[in-house]
């Protein structure tokens, strides 16, 4: 029965989305009715609160828009830097491989929130002590840098795994065509490897989007921080956090669905 149900939902993604959405809303409603009947969503969902959670203040970008800005900026930067690190670790050139390996293992071994604190508090001190430069970074800049450093280490491993998955025959075939090592890597190996990485990369980016809520600890007024600010003002935790959970679900589920579709498409292309 469960296999048939899973197969049905795989073929009807919209129904699967609606099913999960209705399930979450129903559970929240059940909790409200049984444990918190005084909940008042209309009071929490005023136009001012909605605008602040979605866009921030009039003179400063914030809320959900800032969350997307932070996520997509970090995605682009970490993809570029992570690709360089992954290629460096995959290569046999020790002058590139050793530093890349140390960087990857360091940032994969520490919690994400520690990286955020390091960049925000320790980076200005580091530049002042080592380079005698006074650096005053904003909370948003620190968040982008922290996400780039942390996610680059994980993306680098995805890139390395993608390169290792390429069959050795690809190198030999390119060599018989008269291509040198650089042409073989850039024109033959890397494009195919990236195609194999797409599902893992998209899944990592979905995780990055959800992790953006961590930057509230350094004062970035992204979506979760904006919601907590409203909650601290009106003291309606159930209503506010329920809204936050639903919106995060809508965004993350949509991205996860895209990841699933890409994975199937890539597997079909590889198998054919």
Residue 40 has pLDDT above 80, yes or no: no
Q: Greater confidence, 24 or 90?
A: 90
pLDDT above 70: percentage of residues in the chain: 85
Q: Greater confidence, 150 or 34?
A: 150
Q: Is residue 205 part of a domain?
A: yes
Mean pLDDT confidence for 189-206? 82
Give DSSP secondary structure letters for the chain. Answer: -HHHHHHHHHH-HHHHHHHHHHHHHHHHHHHHHHH-TT--HHHHS-HHHHHHHHHEETTEE-HHHHHHHHHHHHHHHHHHHHHHHHHHHHSS-HHHHHHHHHHHHHHHSS-HHHHHHIIIIIHHHHHHHHS-------HHHHHHHHHHHHHHHHHHHHHHHHHHTS-HHHHHHHHHTT--HHHIIIIIIHHHHHHHHHHHHHHHHHHHHHHGGGGGGGT--BHHHHHHHHHHHH--HHHHHHHHHHHHHHHHHHHHHHHHHHHHHHHHHHH-
Q: Is residue 254 part of a domain?
A: yes
From the CA atom positions of the chain, what is the Rg in Å? Answer: 23
User: What is the number of structural domains in the chain?
Assistant: 1
Q: Is residue 122 part of a domain?
A: yes
pLDDT reported for residue 107: 92
Strands 60-61 and 56-57: antiparallel
Q: Is residue 173 part of a domain?
A: yes
Which range, 62-71, 135-144, 249-258, has the best average confidence (pLDDT)?
62-71
Q: Is residue 112 part of a domain?
A: yes
pLDDT reported for residue 6: 56
pLDDT reported for residue 1: 45
Q: Is residue 50 part of a domain?
A: no
Query: CB under 8 Å to 107, separation ≥6 — which residues?
Result: 115, 149, 150, 152, 153
pLDDT reported for residue 17: 64
Residue 102 has pLDDT above 70, yes or no: yes
Q: Greater confidence, 217 or 10?
A: 217
Q: pLDDT for 69-91, tens place per residue?
A: 999 999 999 999 999 999 999 98
Q: Is residue 246 part of a domain?
A: yes
Q: pLDDT for 118-139, tens place per residue?
A: 888 888 787 778 777 777 778 8
Tokens 């390395």 appear where? 160
CATH number at residue 148: 1.10.3720.10
d(CA 148, CA 77): 6
Q: Is residue 34 part of a domain?
A: no
Q: Greater confidence, 183 or 158?
A: 158
Q: What is the pTM of this model?
A: 0.81
A 10 A CB-CB count for 34 gives 8
Tokens 């329920």 appear where? 242
For the ranges 7-11, 65-69, 104-108, 187-191, the lowest mean pLDDT is seen at 7-11
Question: What is the rounded average pLDDT for all residues in the chain?
Answer: 81
For the ranges 30-39, 57-66, 119-128, 228-237, the lowest mean pLDDT is seen at 30-39
Residue 254 has pLDDT above 60, yes or no: yes
Query: Which domain covers residue 91, as residue numbers?
Result: 62-271
Query: Longest C-alpha distance within the chain, in Å?
Result: 75
């Amino acid at each position: 029965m469960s296999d048939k149900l899973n197969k049905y939902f795989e073929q009807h993604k919209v129904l699967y989305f609606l099913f999960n959405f209705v399930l979450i809303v129903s559970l929240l409603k059940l909790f409200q009715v049984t444990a918190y009947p005084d909940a008042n969503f209309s009071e929490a969902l005023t136009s001012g609160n909605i605008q602040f959670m979605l866009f921030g203040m009039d003179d400063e970008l914030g809320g959900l828009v800032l969350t997307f800005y932070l996520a997509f900026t970090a995605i682009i930067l970490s993809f570029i830097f992570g690709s360089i690190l992954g290629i460096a670790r995959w290569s046999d050139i020790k002058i590139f491989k050793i530093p890349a390996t140390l960087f990857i293992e360091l940032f994969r071994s520490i919690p994400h929130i520690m990286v955020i604190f390091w960049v925000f508090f320790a980076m200005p001190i580091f530049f002042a002590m080592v380079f005698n430069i006074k650096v005053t970074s904003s909370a948003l800049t620190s968040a982008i840098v922290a996400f780039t450093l942390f996610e680059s280490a994980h993306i680098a491993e995805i890139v390395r795994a993608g390169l290792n998955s390429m069959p050795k025959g690809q190198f030999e075939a390119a060599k018989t065509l008269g291509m040198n090592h650089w042409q073989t890597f850039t024109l033959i190996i890397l494009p195919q490897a990236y195609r194999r990485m797409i599902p893992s990369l998209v899944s990592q980016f979905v995780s990055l989007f959800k992790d953006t809520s961590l930057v509230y600890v350094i004062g970035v007024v992204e979506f979760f921080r904006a919601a907590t600010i409203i909650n601290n003002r009106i003291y309606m935790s159930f209503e506010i956090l329920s809204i936050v959970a639903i919106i995060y679900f809508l965004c993350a589920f949509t991205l996860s669905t895209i990841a699933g579709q890409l994975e199937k498409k890539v597997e079909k292309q590889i198998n054919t």
